[in-house]
Chain A
Amino acid sequence: MAKGEGKSTLRPVNWPLFPALAVVAGLLMAPLAIVLIMSTRQAAPGAAGGIAGPYVFSLANYVAFLHPTYLRYAGDTLWLSLVATLISVTAAYPIACWLAFARKTPWRRIVLASLVITLYASAVVKVYGVSIAFGPNGMRDWLAAMWSVGPSNRLVTSTIVVIGLVNFLAPIAILMMVAPLQQINPSLGAAAQSLGANRITAHLTVIIPICRGGIAQVSMLVYAAAVSAFVIPLILGRGQINFLSNLVYARFSEVADFPGGAALSIILLVVTLAATLGLGRLIGGGHRPWQRAAA
């Protein structure tokens, strides 16, 4: 923005911002503050909402989380999300390259349109599709044979959750990755190849280093979306695999333990924000992550 523009004779009008700011403050920030306070209350099983009488500060809800059972849920959440993110981002790179550099043929338009359709297709549709495609009458037995275990083994369920996550994340990863790749002059890759690099080396030594920041940010956003997935582990995990998000909901729907649910929410929030803001900034990249927080 040029400096001279600041010298306008007009007073800037700020009021159009206020309603939206009020909505975010009133419906997000204030409720989150309530969650934070709730997470430090004492839990009382049996009471309404599981809340003990007057407010007494306690970290018991967070300490309870250190139990091995909970750590295992956290481990499932982080690990399965990581596997699904790596698969999605790796597959997204070549497809996004093609979308970014290919000429605008009808074929490219069809692929772009199908990706946008899968991106905005209902998560309910996706989860249902995966659950019958890899259900008892579907390809579940193949997966069981692949791991050489029984069909209801945890390993098979984990694989199906990862498949569900990839089904959900890959279109997001592809469409988000097109933008950073398009900032690159396509003749750079050709130049590297004409100087003797093979295709893979050209990408590894020229293109990927240039858009490293963009790729890192896409990965972080995809990881954050995976960690906060709700429907996918709820349906495909069949009770064997639970993500932190499912535990938060169970604290409301099954055991009415609001302080416990609040502590879990804060933990999940910290994990997601670390993925989107902190780590993305650490690895680098010019854009602020939220500017690309699509889907």
Chain B
Amino acid sequence: MKRLVDNLSVLLIGVFLAFVMAIIIAPFLYSVVMSFDPRSYLGSFPPPGLSGRWYAKFFSDERYMAALRTSLSVGLLSSVLASVLGALAAFGLLQVRSHRRRVWLDGFLAAPKLVPNVIVGFALLLAFAASGVRPGMLALTAAHCLITLPLVVRSVSAALQGIRPSLVEAAMSLGATRARALWDIVVPLARTGIVVGFVFALAVSLDEVAASAFLTTTDDVTLPVVLISDMKANFDLTIAAAAVLQMAAIILVVVVLDIVVGLDRLFGEGSYGHREE
């Protein structure tokens, strides 16, 4: 009887999981396959042949290339800024002795994560208008820096967990200056956290739409914003090609992260997972 209940319930759960997995995976497959569609109209699935025409069109379209350049500049600039500010903040948090105060500061720094990006964009639009900052590169970079800051603080804080202030004090009692002790002891321990934070910040920035939509101009517009507005307007498969290229970049980053850092250290470690010292 127990065996029967087990098997039946596993079967039911299996069917449900298969549905959800299909919802996760099918759209990706559709995008990838359709991006190689040789037809010039949106036909039925699967396409009758394969061609690279949409990729060629993407790279020869000056509007997309300009948007890609803007995206990369805003993304790199904002994630470098967020990494520096976030890493400094995580070092600072380590120095706060009062637990209560640290929790409050931690929560305050995480606030951009809790506010929907649409509201961040709208609020920044109003604030920039009031202070005379025009929409464009500067506004976009500021917005992306704010949105990605909590990611860096979190990943660096996680890397710093377990470093006690006494380590720094020990180094200083052996003759190091405070700056030297921080540089030699804390920074190397936090390096992984900073790199991971930077990569995730860049990934989030390159994909941001909801806040950016308020802050773009006709000249300074990021790639995802262009893709979304094109998506509303027509069914051009160049969008699929651009989307697939973006995904290829992400796969590359995740594989590199797995080799360099190990995904298990980022996701899925716990008290009963393996602990390495």
Contact = CB atoms under 8 A, between A and B. Distances in A.
Interface of A: 1, 5-6, 8-10, 12-21, 23-24, 27-32, 34-35, 38, 49, 87-88, 90-91, 94-95, 99-100, 104, 109, 112-113, 115-118, 120-133, 135, 137-138, 163, 166-167, 170-171, 175, 178-179, 181-186, 196, 198-200, 224, 227-228, 230-231, 234-235, 245, 248-249, 252-253, 258, 261-262, 265, 268-269, 272-273, 276-277, 288, 290-291, 293-294
A124 B228 contact: yes
B30 A129 contact: yes
29 contacts: A8-B97, A8-B169, A13-B95, A14-B92, A16-B88, A27-B146, A28-B146, A29-B111, A34-B123, A35-B123, A100-B268, A104-B264, A120-B203, A120-B254, A122-B206, A124-B227, A124-B231, A138-B45, A178-B270, A198-B2, A198-B5, A200-B6, A252-B125, A265-B122, A268-B119, A269-B116, A272-B115, A288-B106, A293-B113
Contacts of B86: 20
Contact of A91 (B9, B16, B108, B232): B16
A102 B276 CA distance: 18
Contacts of A249: 118, 122, 210, 213-214
Given A91-B20, A132-B42, A248-B119, A126 B27 contact: yes
A20 B209 contact: no
B89 A32 contact: no
B159 interface: no
Nearest to B89: A20
A129 B31 contact: yes
Contact of B254 (A32, A113, A175, A293): A113
Nearest to A129: B27
A24 B213 contact: no
B24 A167 contact: yes
A249 B122 CA distance: 8
Given A28-B112, A91-B17, A179-B268, A265 B119 contact: yes
B126 A38 contact: yes
Contact of B126 (A31, A90, A104): A31
Contacts of A138: 30, 45
B231 A34 contact: no
B271 interface: yes
Interface centre among A16, A122, A133, A198 (most CB of B within 10 A): A122
B66 interface: no
Contacts of A181: 270
A291 B116 CA distance: 17
Interface residues of B, number: 110
A178 B269 CA distance: 8
Given A17-B92, A128-B27, A288-B107, 16 more contacts: A5-B165, A31-B124, A35-B126, A94-B13, A121-B246, A121-B247, A137-B45, A138-B45, A178-B267, A179-B269, A182-B271, A183-B272, A268-B119, A272-B114, A272-B116, A291-B110
A23 B154 CA distance: 16
Contacts of A8: 97, 165, 169
B46 to A, nearest CB: 11
B231 A128 contact: yes
Given A20-B149, A288-B107, A117 B30 contact: no
B58 interface: no
B5 to A, nearest CB: 5
Contacts of B227: 124, 128
A28 B209 CA distance: 17
A268 B24 contact: no
A276 B114 contact: yes
Nearest to B253: A120
A91 B119 CA distance: 30
A170 B253 CA distance: 21
Given A32-B123, A116-B267, A249-B118, A122 B250 contact: yes
Given A32-B115, A117-B250, A124-B228, A293 B150 contact: yes
B165 A125 contact: no
A259 to B, nearest CB: 10
A295 B270 CA distance: 19
Nearest to A175: B267
A176 to B, nearest CB: 9
Contact of A182 (B143, B244, B273): B273
A293 B89 contact: no
A241 to B, nearest CB: 14
A128 B239 contact: yes
Given A17-B92, A31-B126, A90 B117 contact: no
Interface string B195-218: 000001001001101100110000
A190 to B, nearest CB: 13
B243 interface: yes
Contact of A31 (B99, B103, B127): B127
A168 to B, nearest CB: 9
Given A10-B178, A24-B109, A125 B95 contact: no
B6 A121 contact: no
A20 B85 contact: yes
A21 B107 CA distance: 11
